[in-house]
Amino acid sequence: MARVLCFNHGCFEDEICIDFTRKEIEMAEKKEERYEESDLYRIRHSAAHVMAQAVLEMFPEGKYTIGPPIEDGFYYDFELPRSLTPDDLEVIEKRMRQIIAGDHAFEKQTLPADEARRIFKDQPYKLELIEGLEQGGYDEYGQPLAEKPEISIYTHDKFVDLCRGPHVESTRKINPAAIKLMSVAGAYWRGDEHKPMLQRIYGTAWKSAEELEQYLWRLEEAKRRDHRRLGRELDLFSVSEEVGPGLILWHPKGAMIRVLVESFSQRAHLENGYEWVFSPHIGRAHLWETSGHLDFYQENMYSPMDIEGEAYYAKPMNCPFHIQIYKSHTRSYRDLPKRYAEYGTVYRYERSGVLHGLTRVRGFTQDDAHIFCRPDQVEEEISRALDFSLYILRSVGLKDFKAYLATIPEKYVGDPADWDKATQALKRAIEAHNIPYVVDQGGGAFYGPKIDLKVNDALAREWQLSTIQFDFNLSERFNLEFIGEDGQPHRPYMVHRALLGSMERFFGVLIEHFAGAFPVWLSPVQAVVIPIADRHLAYSREVAGKLKGAGLRVEVDDRNERMNAKIRDAQTQKIPYMLVVGDKEIELGAVALRLRSGENPGAMSLQDFLERAQQDIDKGD
RNA sequence: GCCGACGUAGCUCAAUCGGCAGAGCGACCGCCUUGUAAGUGGUAGGUUAUGGGUUCGAUUCCCAUCGUCGGCUCCA
C-alpha cells in the first residue's frame, strides 16, 4: 500500500503529511509583499464590509464598530440586541454570498468630519472613531500618525462604512467559495475591559476554494497536534480539577522528557560558567517589599500565608533569592560575573479565562538564571546569553527564531542613559547573531529593556520561550555592590534570563512541534520489542535486557495480542523503533527493525541496530 | 475577570416531548500462537461535574458554584 511519509515531522499515513518546509519558504517569500498592500488584504477587508452589511440587515438597530483584516481572515465587531448563534452565522454567510453575487462596486469618498458625523449620526462607535481621526489618528502600532488623516467612507450596495480602505473594485472580486465564517466571540470595544463587550464575528477569506480548503486543513492539523490532546493520548501530563486549574501533573513519560532536557541543560550550564543554586518557594513579605514586587507585581501574586504571625508569599520570580545568595558575601570585581542558575518553580496568578494547557499556567518552573556583572562585562554577557539560548533551543530541535527587542516603556526606573546603553547592547547582540528581529517600542519591563526570543514551530506558529532582561531596579533596591579595583563599592549590572522559558510552556511547544514524535534522544520509550508469539518472549526479554544495558529505554510488549496490534499501538504511541522478533530473528540472533515512519529496514543484528540508534541519537533526530 | 458555547463510563460520543442511562474504543478475564497499523468471546465500569429548585418522576427545565473550550493585541 502506498504510504505518505514525512521523515522530518513524523507524520503518518492516517494523518496525511504536509511539506512544512516548502510551506515556510513560500510564506517567507510572500512576506516580500506587505500584507496591507496585498490582494488578500483587500479581499478580506471587503469581505468584512459585506459581512457587516449582512449583519446589519439582520439587526437594523445594531451598532457596528471596526472590522479589519487579520492573519488568515478578518473580523467585525458589533453591538447587537441578542447573542449570535452558530445558526445565525450560516444565515449571514448565505446572505454574504448573495451580496457578493450582486457585483456591487466599492466606492470611496473623502469628506469633512461634520458630514461624516451626519452619515453616522446613529452609530456612536463610528462617531467616536471620527473624533479620533480628527485628533490625528493612530497607525496600526498605536503610535500617533505624523499627518492628520483624511476621513473617508466606502460604499457598496446600500452599505456605507467609515473606512480608510483599500478595497477590491467590486464585491464580485470576493470568491464566494473561498469565504467562511468561523466563530463568534466576545471582544471589548478597543480591547479595553472597562469598555462595552461587543460581539465579534471571525471569518476567513482566500482567493480560491483550494486555499480555503488548505487553511481549514491546517486548522485540523493544528488540532491533531494539540498538546492537550497528545498529552492525554501519549500519557505525558494532565491537569486535575481536584488539584486546580493551571497546575500541571507530569506523568512518568512527560517527566522522563523533562528530566532528559533538564539534565542536558544542566550540564550545558556548567560548561558555560553557570553555578547551580536552589531556593525556597516562599519568602517573607519584607523581601517582596524590598524587591518592589508588592508594588509592581502584586496582581500576579497569590495572597500571603500566615506563618507565626508573619506574612509569606509564594514566589512569582526567583530573583530576590538569587540576590540574597549574591549578597551573602562581599564581592570583588575579580569574582564577577556571577551566574546563578536554578530550575525555579514560581506561582503567578493568571485570570481563569487565559489558562491554556501547558502554555499558560499558574505554577511553572523556569530555567532561570541571574547574571551579576561589572558594567564593562555586560555586553559580553548578553551576547553569551543569547548564544547559549540559541544553542539550547537548537539542541532540542527548535531552529526557527525571531527576536523582539523591547525598549523603554512609559513607566520605568533607572537612568535613561543606562537604558539606552543597555538597549544598544541588546541590539548589537541580536545583530551579531544574525536573527531576524523587530523592535517592540515601549515593550520593556519597567525595570529594564529585554530581548524576547520567539520560536516558530512546525506549523509556523510563534511561541515565546526565551527572554533576556536587564534589571536596573533590583540592584538598586537591594543595594548590590562589588568592590572595584579602586577599593570602592560599585553597583553591578544584573541580567535575568530564561532560555526554554518555563519547562511547561516549552514542553507544550515541543509536543506540538514534533506532533508527539519526539527525537529519539528525548523519546520516553525509544524501542519496543514485539514478540510474534509466546515462544519468542524469552528471547525478547534477553534482547531488551541487552539494549537497556547499552543505555536504551526499551520495553517488551508481552501482551497477549497479535503482532499487528502491537505494531499499531507502538505507531500510535510514536515509539521510534519497533523490534519484531520471531523464529527467524531468534535463529539469526537478530531483530527486525521497523521505524515509526513506516520504513521497514528489516532484520539486523543487535549490534547494527544499536549503532543505528546511536547515530540517530547523536544527530538529535 | 468578561462574552459565548459546553460538562453523560478512562477516551470519543448516543439517549424522541421530562418516563428503566447506551455504543464503540480502552481496561480486566479467557480462547487463538500469530510475520509489519486493530484476531476473537466474555466481564466490570455511572450519585449524568457539584449543590439546590420545579415535578408523581430530571441526563433533559430553572438557579448557583466548579471546571473545560473559543475569543477579548493587531484601530475606520
Among this protein's residues, is A366 annotated catalytic?
A: yes
Average pLDDT, chain A: 88
* A116 nearest nucleotide via C1' and CA: B76
Query: Is it the case that residue A231 has pLDDT exceeding 90?
Result: yes
Catalytically annotated residue among A450, A505, A536, A596: A450
Q: In angstroms, rounded to a whole number, what is the distance separating the alpha carbons of residues A302 and A348?
A: 7
Task: Look up the protein residue whose alpha carbon has the minimum distance to the C1' of B67.
Answer: A241
Res A461: pLDDT:
77
Would you call the peptide bond into A337 cis, given omega within 30 degrees of 0 as the criterion?
yes
A481 and A534 inside one domain: no
Give the whole-angstrom CA distance, residue A494 versus residue A473: 9
- Same domain, residue pair A439 and A530: no
In this structure, is the CB of residue A424 within 7 Å of any atom belonging to strand B? no
Chain B bases near protein Cβ (<7 Å):
1-5, 11, 30-39, 66-76
Structural contact between residues A203 and A441, judged by C-beta atoms closer than 8 angstroms: no
The tally of domains found in chain A comes to 3
Please indicate, yes or no, if residue A306 is contained in any of the structural domains.
no
Catalytic residue, from A258, A319, A377, A505: name it. A319
For residues A569 and A486, membership in a common domain is answered with no
Mean pLDDT over residues A160-174, rounded?
90
Burial state string for A92-130 with b = 16 or more CB within 10 A and e = fewer than 16: bbebbeebbeeebebeeeeeeeeebbebbeebebbeebb
A 10 A CB-CB count for A541 gives 15
For the segment A523-547, the average pLDDT, to the nearest whole number, is 95
Whole-number distance in Å between A63 CA and B59 C1'? 39
Separation of alpha carbons A543 and A605, rounded Å:
11
Q: Higher-confidence residue: A91 or A150?
A: A91
Residues 459-518 of A with CB under 7 A from strand B: none
Q: Does A49 qualify as catalytic in the annotation?
A: no
Same domain, A415 and A330: yes
Among the ranges given (A8-22, A273-287, A607-621), the one the predictor scored with the smallest mean pLDDT: A8-22
**How is chain A split among helix, strand and coil, in percent rounded to 5?**
40, 25, 35
Does A443 fall in a domain?
Answer: yes
Are A491 and A608 contained in the same domain? no
Question: In this predicted structure, what is the pLDDT of residue A447?
Answer: 87
Please tell me which residue lies nearest to nucleotide B5, judged from CA to C1': A85
Within-domain flag for A366: yes
Q: What is the tens place of the pLDDT at every residue in A349-368?
A: 999 889 999 999 999 999 99
Q: Mark whether A480 and A524 lie in a shared domain.
A: no
Examine the fold and report which residue of A492, A514, A536 is the final residue of a domain before the chain moves on.
Answer: A514
Query: Does residue A335 surpass a pLDDT of 70?
Result: yes
* CB-strand contact A4/B, under 7 Å: no
Mean pLDDT of A542-563: 94
Distance in angstroms: CA A313, C1' B47: 39
Residue with cell 512518568: A252
Give the Cβ contact number of residue A25 at 10 Å: 11
A17 is catalytic: no
Q: Which residue has the higher pLDDT, A413 or A175?
A: A175
- Reply yes or no: is the peptide bond before residue A166 cis, omega within 30 of 0: yes
Residue–nucleotide distance: A283 CA to B33 C1' (Å): 63
Which of the given ranges, A276-280, A302-306, A406-410, A445-449, has the highest pLDDT on average?
A276-280
Instruction: Give the whole-angstrom CA distance, residue A379 versus residue A382.
Output: 5
Please report which confidence band the pLDDT of residue A17 belongs to, taking 50, 70 and 90 as the band edges: very low
**Measured between alpha carbons, how far is A555 from A538 in angstroms, rounded to an integer?**
13
Residue A545 lies in a domain: yes
Grid cell digits, residue A121:
449620526
Catalytic residue selected from A49, A63, A269, A370? A370
Instruction: Assess whether A123 and A139 both reside in one domain.
Output: yes
Of the pLDDT bands very low, low, confident and very high (cuts 50, 70, 90), residue A144 is low
Domain CATH code at residue A482: 3.30.930.10
pLDDT band at A148 (very low <50, low <70, confident <90, very high): low
Structural domain includes residue A304: no
Q: Using CA atoms in the order A362, A364, A369, A370, what is the torsion angle rounded to 10 degrees? A: 20
Nucleic acid strand B within 7 Å of A442 CB: no
Q: A126: which nucleotide lies closest, measuring CA to C1'?
A: B76
* Mean pLDDT calculated for residue range A473-486: 94
Domain end, chosen from A514, A535, A552, is at A514
How sure is the predictor about A442, in pLDDT bands with cuts at 50, 70 and 90?
confident
pLDDT band at A95 (very low <50, low <70, confident <90, very high): very high
Same domain, A212 and A341: no
Residues A271 and A338 placed together within one structural domain of the fold? yes
Q: What does the pLDDT read at residue A439? A: 86
- pLDDT score of A326 more than 60: yes
Residues 201-230 of A with CB under 7 A from strand B: 202, 228
Catalytic residue (choose from A53, A123, A199, A366): A366
* C-alpha A402: how far from chain center: 12
> Which residues 163-202 in chain A have a CB closer than 7 A to strand B?
163-164, 183-188, 190-191, 193, 197, 199-200, 202
A242 touches strand B (CB under 7 A): no
- Which residues numbered 59-88 in chain A sit less than 7 A from strand B, measured from CB? 66-68, 70-71, 83, 85
Assign A147 a pLDDT band (cuts: 50, 70, 90). low
Please report whether residue A14 resides in a domain: no
Q: Measured CA to C1', what is the nucleotide nearest A578?
A: B36
Confidence tier at A96 by pLDDT (50, 70, 90): very high
For residue A182, pLDDT beyond 80:
yes
User: Active site residue: A77, A88, A368, A457, which one?
Assistant: A368
Are A482 and A373 found together in one domain? Answer: yes
Residue type, A395: S
Strands (E), A414-485: 437-440, 450-456, 462-471, 482-483
Indicate whether A408 pLDDT > 90. no
A99-143 per-position pLDDT tens digit:
999 999 999 999 888 999 999 999 999 999 888 888 765 544 444
For A54-82, the pLDDT digits (tens) are: 999 999 999 999 999 988 899 999 999 88
Last residue within a domain, chosen from A514, A538, A560: A514
The reply to whether A259 and A332 lie within a common domain is yes
- Strand pairing category for A527-531 and A554-556: parallel
Q: Are A331 and A338 in contact (CB under 8 A)?
A: yes
Q: What is the CATH number of the domain that holds A91?
A: 3.30.980.10
Cell of A450: 529585554
Q: What distances in angstroms separate CA A301 from CA A77, A280, A282, A315, one per listed residue?
A: 33, 16, 11, 8
- Rounded Cα–Cα distance for residues A20 and A116 (Å): 47
Is there a catalytic annotation at residue A163?
no
Q: Please state the φ and ψ torsions of residue A600, each to the nearest 5 degrees.
A: -135, 80
Question: pLDDT at residue A220 above 90?
Answer: no
Query: Stretch A136-164: mean pLDDT, rounded?
Result: 73
Q: Is A352 left (phi over 0), alpha (psi -120 to 50) or beta?
A: alpha
Same domain, A494 and A607: no
- A234-260 pLDDT per residue, tens: 999 999 888 899 999 999 999 999 999
Domain that holds residue A614: 520-619
Quick check: is A269 catalytic?
A: no
* Residue A599 confidence (pLDDT) above 60: yes
> Which nucleotide is closest to A602, CA to C1'?
B36
> Can you give the pLDDT at residue A621?
78
Instruction: Give strand letter and number of the nucleotide nearest A139 (CA to C1').
Output: B75
* % of chain A residues with pLDDT over 70: 93
Answer whether any strand B atom is within 7 A of the Cβ of A47.
no
Q: Please compute the mean of the pLDDT values over residues A132-160 and round it to a whole number.
A: 72
CATH number at residue A591: 3.40.50.800
Q: What is the pLDDT of residue A7?
A: 26
Nearest Cα residue to A522 out of A455, A609, A596, A621: A621
Selected residue with higher pLDDT from A191 and A370: A370
